[in-house]
Amino acid sequence: MIRFDQVHKQFGSHVVLRDVSFTVQRGETVVIVGFSGAGKSVCLRHMVRLEGADSGLVEVDGQAIDLLNRKEMRALRSRFGVLFQGAALLQWMSLFDNVALPLRERTSLGEAEIAKRVEERLEWVGLLDAAERLPAEVSGGMQKRAGLARAMVMDPEILLYDEPTSGLDPVTSRSIDELMLRTNRERGATSVVVTHDLISALAVGSRILMLHEGQVVEYCAPEAFVKSEVKVVQDFLAAQQITG
Amino acid sequence: METVFHVDWRGACGIGGLKITYLNFPLKSVKRLGSGTLQKFYRIGHAFFMLLEAVWYFRCALSRRNRADTMMQLYVVGVKSIAVITVVALFTGMILALQTGLELMRYGQQVFIGSAVAVSVIREMGPFMAGLIIAASVGSSMAAQVGTMTVSEEVSALEVMGINANRFLVMPRLVALVVMMPLLTVYTDIVAILGGALVGYTQLNVELLAYYHNAMMYTEVKDLYVGLFKAGLFGLVIGTVACHQGFSARGGAVGVGVATRRTVVSSFLLILVLGYMITRLFYL
């Protein structure tokens, strides 16, 4: 379970999160939506302490992550898999080596076992044929899928997706959605997805949280979200031509 | 209209509706200076701890996980810098020999250019030239690479995967610089001295054997050791500055550009200051 309690964050004089509180239950998929600059990605980065809160508390399974030392934080992070906005693959490594990296660095598995697990994950995301290609040699969608394979290779309990469909065409976006759904369904992972693609949010989310100007303005099931009477939510839905 | 003079708690004053805030100027400046100084100390502290951690991991340089990266960095720092170092060292030696030789020729003492070139190159110019060239070529490229990784969240990805960025990225680069800088300095010394010999032989009528004897006569082993020590230290400085600036890069391509520029400027300044301090320490 991930819990945000009155989390406040500002960069200089710009307040990004204003006393944000919410909870993500084990096994559910929460989608955080909002306009650009609403604080969605900052929120996600707080969950793995890539950003620290100015005040308030972020807890993962009852552990306040700001109080953990480096070793404890490392252990906690090993339970997470993160798909970054630009996939964040190391550019000098092949897709295979990128996916194998956490296994080589964090486990004592032999190369044969590593190869087996990497190939499994690459096959899962449909990239086995492109395993030896460099990130610069494949499309944005393929990079995202490789990033997803890397995020999953350690079998994490919690998956964080930062804008998984941004910059992708609708067909590729839906294939990424399908992959997320399959991952959550078959592996039972807790997932937090940050996106401003409402179609994707409605497809994969068990609950949708909307951030606006650093505050939570709505947090409910997708069916309730499309019928929300909050003005900002209505504007957001209308902008994407989605009606209740 | 009634005129009211007021002074608020910050020292700003005004008359009526017109507020004059010039008295805020010194307060704001002091505040800015204070926070700027704190930031500087924070950055220096961060760079220092990054250096310490990377040095701690030197023992892992040839481990299974790091061997390939270390070898790659050794190749980039050493082999890929050879061409530019050769040209700069050769012409520096030639210029040094020519300028010194022309003056000495007036007294018929041009045979001493060997010692002039050898002593100045081995003591100062060799490590200094190698340092500047490596800072400008390798240091800037390291800052750009690490900076790009930072702004494209690759460094964050490493952190989330539980991979220590100081071991994974900084250590192989520092090892390569600390190992290669002294070797490149020896190479620079040799090429510059050969450049001097070439000018002495072709333009100043100095026999090669006489040049060699003179070069050896006034050069001490200590000169070489001090030069190599300087080179190793310059390597550490260049690597630390480049990686620290890379990690500090913010805001996309512009941030990477700023980090690269700062790396070159800071490295040049530190090389000059440290070069002077080491010379003073060993020769005064």
Q: Answer whether residue A63 shows pLDDT above 80.
A: yes
Q: What does the pLDDT read at residue B16?
A: 56
Contact across the interface for A84 and B157, Cβ inside 8 Å: yes
Q: What does the pLDDT read at residue B1?
A: 46
For residues A213-240, average pLDDT: 91
User: Which of these, B17, B18, B275, lies nearest to B124 by C-alpha position?
Assistant: B275
Could you give phi then psi for residue A227, rounded to 5 degrees?
-105, 5
Residue B266 and residue B244 in contact, taking contact as beta carbons nearer than 8 Å: no
Q: Which residues of chain B have pLDDT under 50?
A: 1-2, 9-11
Of A179-193, A229-243, B11-25, B45-59, the least confident = B11-25
The answer to whether residue B153 neighbours chain A at the CB level (below 8 Å) is yes
For residues A55-80, average pLDDT: 92
Interface of B with A in 163-202 (CB under 8 A): 163, 168
- Element holding A140 (H helix, E strand): helix A140-152
Q: What does the pLDDT read at residue A189?
A: 87
Q: Answer whether residue A219 shows pLDDT above 80.
A: yes
Q: What does the pLDDT read at residue A180?
A: 85
Q: Residues of chain A with pLDDT > 90: what percent?
A: 68
Q: Answer whether residue A211 shows pLDDT above 80.
A: yes
User: Which of these, B118, B125, B131, B128, lies nearest to B193 by C-alpha position?
Assistant: B118
Provide Rg for chain A, Cα atoms: 18
Q: What does the pLDDT read at residue B23?
A: 54
ipTM of the complex: 0.89
Contact across the interface for A105 and B162, Cβ inside 8 Å: yes
**pTM over 0.90, yes/no:** no
CA nearest B161 in A: which residue? A102
Alpha helices, H only, chain B: 24-56, 67-78, 82-105, 113-120, 126-134, 140-151, 154-160, 165, 171-203, 208-217, 221-248, 252-283
Q: What does the pLDDT read at residue B45?
A: 93
User: Which of these, A8, A18, A112, A111, lies nearest to A66 by C-alpha position?
Assistant: A8
The answer to whether residue A42 neighbours chain B at the CB level (below 8 Å) is no
Residue A166 and residue A40 in contact, taking contact as beta carbons nearer than 8 Å: no
**pLDDT tens digits for A85-131?**
889 999 999 999 999 999 999 899 999 999 999 999 999 888 999 99
Residue B23 and residue B13 in contact, taking contact as beta carbons nearer than 8 Å: yes
Best probe of the A interface among B150, B160, B166, B173, by most A CBs < 10 A, is B160
Number of other residues whose CB lies within 10 A of the CB of residue B225: 12
